[in-house]
Structure 1
């Protein structure tokens, strides 16, 4: 009976469809909160939608309220919304039946100050910047063509697929993925551990050490990206020995790791484009460089060929180059012949003058003077030696008379020995002086003999003397009808001039140039004998 009553009571409750209940809730909320003012921090703002509406959220430290600004109201706002800005929004609450969510439709908005998260983020940024972790001089250039790229991101998201596809399209190479959580409480510690782990890989090991590290994540709100503002992540990125690219969020999203990284990419795809060049572009560039190099070499060779041809045309011929040296050689040959004739004439004149001084009478007189000098020196030397001996004997006798008989007896033998020794030395000295004098006299005699005109006559020469035995040295001194005497090495002959010189001379052919040179050489030999 009681069960039947309970079923009857339950059947009296009105039944609602989902749409009816959602509509009733919408009306209730709009009636109860038709005009409200809400204070909160803007989160997830990405600018107006393509439709002109703006969607974001208002939050505090405990709750989150979705918000929307319709296109008509957005243009009337006194200032535009900004991420992280704390505002006071005026509007009404409503629900969205399609997702069972409630939201505020904002009609007016005014700033209420920076949000707590933004204030904390700014304070941390200033602290790390003061330590020099964001300094531009600490940032290193990326390698032009890395061999291995390390990626720190979620292994299941679209980010890693975009990076891999982009690298494969541009320049296929080895990619190492270090899986981490990119959102939540453990995000910061996992990302910092991944950066340090890549740096700890030894070069040349089984696992290749990356040349570039990419830290990547898709877009999100400030809360979603908060793990990349962690201080440990920033310090790990700044201390990384491997160049690091930050690709966190979209282009408008900025985190602290972006300031510490060596490069910031607006998107994960952009990070892949920064890390590797386009292989096809490199091939094309190398081909273009090769083509330009070949063209440059060809142009250089053509220019050098033209320069060589121009120089060849500018060079004079061999005959033109040798004309002046040939002329100088001919002039030098003629001057040499003239100078040789003058030199021979001068030498003959000097020889004749010397021959006049070398008459036998003068040589005999000189020899007699030298012999007289030698005899005089010999007599002086003998006289001086006799005087020295007499003085020594006198000194010895005087010394002997002054000494006592027993001393004289004792030293007489020694004195006799010294006297004999001195006498022998004087004899040897006299003999040596005589030998030197004889050698000097023999040398002078040889010089005198070599200057004897008769020695010259023995070599085929002759002396022509005119009247009063005056030597004739010039041909013009022999006039027709004059007589003269010719002295040979053995004998004399008288002769006379019957006709004018060279009157009946028979003309002869001019000697060849080689014969003239041979004659000059023979004359040089003869002149050498004369001097």
Structure 2
């Protein structure tokens, strides 16, 4: 009788759970590869509401799933876009929930200039389709801007070139908005600068620029990439202030050049576009004034010549009056007989109908009524005329009063404006004197110290002396021995000396007189 049954035939291989197998695969994969850099083309890109970014990296034979978590996605220097070739850096791991491996990406960079150019061209077409680059929306630049806003790095040579060119052509007020011109902070800072200039109030404490210049020196495509970002292009297109793009050298092209109102090949050329040459304006004004004076003189000369020509066509004044004078003489000859005939006929009529008292009274009453009626009419007309004259004088007085008030107000405003200008000039003069006097004073002090250093008095303080004779300096022992009396000048005064045996020969020492050991 067998107490134990024979075991079932089978294998000695151990059994694993699904989680154990998944964990083992995960450990092997992460331990074998760890952090890797993968080059490939971005395929499908998904951005769910969670903020994570899911995409594929592929080549002509294989596909790797990739994911960038929300916290890292905001710090990516290059946003994943479908169709561009990139180099993705991250760690390779597995996703047990779907039995697949994936790359956790924390950095993306374009795979060379070709990928950047492809991305740039794709972005350019997208923004152009929205109408951001249309010529119809570009505005003309102001002819003479009072304030110019410059968006650039404050420490580079670009801002110095712009300020130098503006100072040479037409000095104007410049507001500088300092930004980073390359790197990760370039695009957000340039966007904020353009929007900040547009947000300034026109009558605020900080003047609103009439023109904006976005400038940067030359560089590679990667260095200028911040000016190709979508946020910068949209800010330039939405700017209410005319904008000049001066990014890079003449051969460099960025997307902000298409969205700006004017593109300058260099920052210096942008300054030349912004303002005219003041000397040219002065010359043009002088030329216009001269042309105006010449035009007035020529017009006066033409009118004088026209008047002379018309005067010749009128003929002699006597030719107009001679016929009238002749008619007057003819009528004057006929006047005396006509008067005599008229008086004779009136006298005959009066004799035929003698005057009576009733006729005279009737005629007198009729004349009195007419006179009374004319007197009333004259009084009424005089009253109306007086009223009209009074109203007219009142209106003229009111107009004069208003003109006087306007003149006084204009004078007060002009005086106030001139006071403000005088105060501004005084402040500028004081600032200039405060700025210019100290350097000149320092230079004068340096020159005085140099004078003292180079003077012989400093040499005297170091232990040397100068010998003065009656005819000038004594530079040798022979001259000193032959001089009966001379003076030795030290740093604190002169001492008269009379050498012993002035007529003898000098005694020469074996060592130089300047040797300090021989003095003590």
| Class of the TM-score when normalised by the shorter of the 2 chains | 0.3 to 0.5
Which one has a bigger Cα radius of gyration? 1
TM-score by length of 2: 0.45
